[in-house]
Amino acid sequence: MTYNTSVEEKLLQIIKKFPGVGQRQASRIVYFLRTLKNDEFNTFVSTLKNIKENTSYCSECFCLISSNSATCDFCGKNKDHSKLLVVEKDIDKDVMVSSHYSGDVFILGSLFSVIKNTILNPERLVSLKDKVLKNNYEEIILAFSDTKEGQFTTDRLEDEFKKYGYKGKISVLGRGISTGAEIEYLDPKTIESALSNRK
Ligand SMILES: [Zn+2]
């Protein structure tokens, strides 16, 4: 019994880390998993394993892709290397490129923490530095959510780029966007105007 309880607790702790899942939803998911029929459960576990084994990162923008390709469809087709768009997450990239953006993209993976003054995966900063130094970008567009951490990330990256000796233009999205707005929830029209009004 003690063993079962600790296993249940461990699973609960893992599921609580899923985006948008609180204690109550996590308990419901754990209950659901425990009551699955054996064949359904085995399919779930093997699919979960497969998705991890078949996942890698695009070598250009670092979005998640399946392991059998080197780059994502967008980077594979993109011919405009005059500018670079930096975003926080995969979904932000999807939203931005759906609005006729052409140019390179880079996914930072997280925002800078105001308190810790770093990002969750600092190795991504090294890849960003390599990309900026390797390509002679005319412009780098920083497209983060209009939140305290988004603003802090913009400031920190501007400092980093200057440290690398980057001499091109650095721009941010034009703010018709309301304060606190997360990129992923913006509609294509707002994104388009934010991109064309960048400054
Ligand atoms: Zn890519």
Q: Which domains are delineated in the chain?
A: 2-53 (1.10.8.420), 70-196 (3.40.1360.10)
Task: Tell me the helix, strand and coil percentages in the chain, rounded to 5.
Answer: 50, 10, 40
Of the two residues 191 and 23, the one the predictor is more confident about is 23
Of 189, 92, 84, the closest CA to residue 145 belongs to 92
Token digits of residue 118: 């770093």
User: Could you tell me whether strands 83-87 and 139-142 are parallel, antiparallel, or unpaired per DSSP bridges?
Assistant: parallel
Q: Where are the alpha helices (DSSP H) in the chain?
A: 2-15, 23-34, 38-53, 73-77, 90-97, 123-134, 148-164, 188-196
Token digits of residue 86: 């930096």
Average pLDDT over residues 190-196: 78
Under DSSP, the state recorded for 175 is: S
pLDDT of the residue at 76 = 94
- Supply angle C-alpha 72, 95, 48, rounded to 5: 55
Residue 30 C-alpha to ligand 1 middle, in angstroms?
Answer: 35
pLDDT of the residue at 114 = 92
Residue 89 C-alpha to ligand 1 middle, in angstroms?
Answer: 12
Of the two residues 177 and 37, the one the predictor is more confident about is 37
Residue 71 C-alpha to ligand 1 middle, in angstroms?
Answer: 5
- Supply angle C-alpha 193, 83, 163, rounded to 5: 115
Residue 78 C-alpha to ligand 1 middle, in angstroms?
Answer: 9
- Segment holding 172, helix H or strand E: strand 169-172
Residue 187 C-alpha to ligand 1 middle, in angstroms?
Answer: 22
Q: What percent of the chain has pLDDT over 70?
A: 94
Residue 185 C-alpha to ligand 1 middle, in angstroms?
Answer: 21
Residue 4 C-alpha to ligand 1 middle, in angstroms?
Answer: 43
> Per-residue confidence at 2, pLDDT binned at 50, 70, 90?
very low
Residue 27 C-alpha to ligand 1 middle, in angstroms?
Answer: 36
- Name beta bridge partners: 170: 140
In whole angstroms, what is the distance from residue 128 CA to residue 57 CA?
14
Under DSSP, the state recorded for 89 is: S
Which residue in the block uniquely carries the two structure tokens 């105007």? 193
Residue 94 C-alpha to ligand 1 middle, in angstroms?
Answer: 10
φ and ψ at residue 37, rounded to 5 degrees: -70, 155
φ and ψ at residue 86, rounded to 5 degrees: -110, 125
Average pLDDT over residues 22-30: 95
> Per-residue confidence at 137, pLDDT binned at 50, 70, 90?
very high
- Name beta bridge partners: 84: 104, 140
Residue 75 C-alpha to ligand 1 middle, in angstroms?
Answer: 4
pTM of the model: 0.79
One-letter identity of residue 109: G
